[in-house]
Amino acid sequence: MTLTDAVDFNRAVLARAYVRVVGVNREISWMLAEIFLPMLSVTAYIFLYRALGAPKMYEGLVVLGAAMIPFWLVVLWSMAMQFYWEKEMGNLDIYMASPTNPIALLLGMAIGGLVMGGLRSFAVLLVGLGVFRVELSVTSWPALVVAFVLTLSALFTMGMAAASVYFVTGRKGIKINIALMEPIYMLSGMFFPMKNMGRILGAVASIVPLSIGLDAIRQVTLPGMANLEFLPFKVELAILMVMTVVFGVLALKLMARMERKGKTEGTLTEKWL
């Protein structure tokens, strides 16, 4: 890749990310809904744990789970479904016909989604810490940063890979997303320790990076999680690294196949998997 190609690639990434960050955040009502509606469930679980006299750690466990919800919603709706939305708006053919590297589109989507999810996640943490006085105790900031970065990298590469697959399914992808939302909330252990699901169900839940990543993040932010960990911290980091590589390679292969079909056959609407 020449210097000019690298500059064009970076400009395409930033341009795609800009549209997502600025365009979505212009609609303030969406942002408020995505922040405060998840807090209703969080509030219910916090009051429940307080009524049961559960340790304060469980309140922090709930808030951390809710803080990861925005990233999961971004992966489902703004990553996996993105190519379908672009096709519906008439932009996808233009993308495929342009000299822009399609990988730049995926990276731009991921960066824009990261900013979107990050703002909403930060707001959830502020409410949890400021209103409910939830106590968090970070045992190692470097470990927390590594766990968080690996969780997001695995999540967003999974979204990149799913984007091409969802494009083929069309409107069925919307139904798949709706069907996945609540089960993933349960399987990821957003409002309770993942260990309580047992080894078999926990192994099934581990297919989703959110489950393993959330458990790893809790281990370094909540005192008392050592007795409730699903897997050792380093093992979970290794799993997230493997997921990132596998999903990343799969995303590149699927994207290359879609680009090749669009440029050789002149269509992207027929099944190609």
> Has residue 140 got a pLDDT over 80?
yes
pLDDT given at position 91: 74
DSSP assignment string, the chain: --HHHHHHHHHHHHHHHHHHHHHHHT-HHHHHHHHHHHHHHHHHHHHHHHHHT--THHHHHHHHHHHHHHHHHIIIIIIITHHHHHHHHT-HHHHHHSSS-HHHHHHHHHHHHHHHHHHHHHHHHHHHHHTS------S-HHHHHHHHHHHHHHHHHHHHHHHHHHHHHTTHHHHHHHHHHHHHHHHTTTTS-GGGG-HHHHHHHTTSHHHHHHHHHHHTTSTTGGGT-SS-HHHHHHHHHHHHHHHHHHHHHHHHHHHHHHHHHS-SSS---
| First-to-final CA distance of the chain | 29
pLDDT given at position 268: 58
Q: What is the mean pLDDT of the chain?
A: 80
pLDDT given at position 272: 45
| Digit-coded pLDDT (tens) for 89-118 | 777 777 777 777 777 877 887 787 788 778
DSSP state for residue 131 in the 8-state scheme: T
Residue carrying the six token digits 């212009």:
26
| Digit-coded pLDDT (tens) for 36-61 | 776 777 888 889 898 988 888 888 88
Question: Are residues 151 and 57 in contact, defined by beta-carbon separation less than 8 angstroms?
Answer: no
Whole-angstrom distance, CA of residue 75 vs CA of residue 160: 8
pTM over 0.95: no
Whole-angstrom distance, CA of residue 208 vs CA of residue 82: 20
**189 by DSSP, 3-state: which?**
coil
Six-digit token pair at 101? 């590297």
Please state, for a pLDDT cut of 90, what percent of the chain lies above it. Answer: 15
Q: Count CB-CB contacts under 10 A for residue 232.
A: 11
Q: For the chain, give every domain's residue range.
A: 3-263
**Which residues have CB under 8 Å from 78's CB, separation 6+?**
20, 24, 109, 112, 113, 116, 159
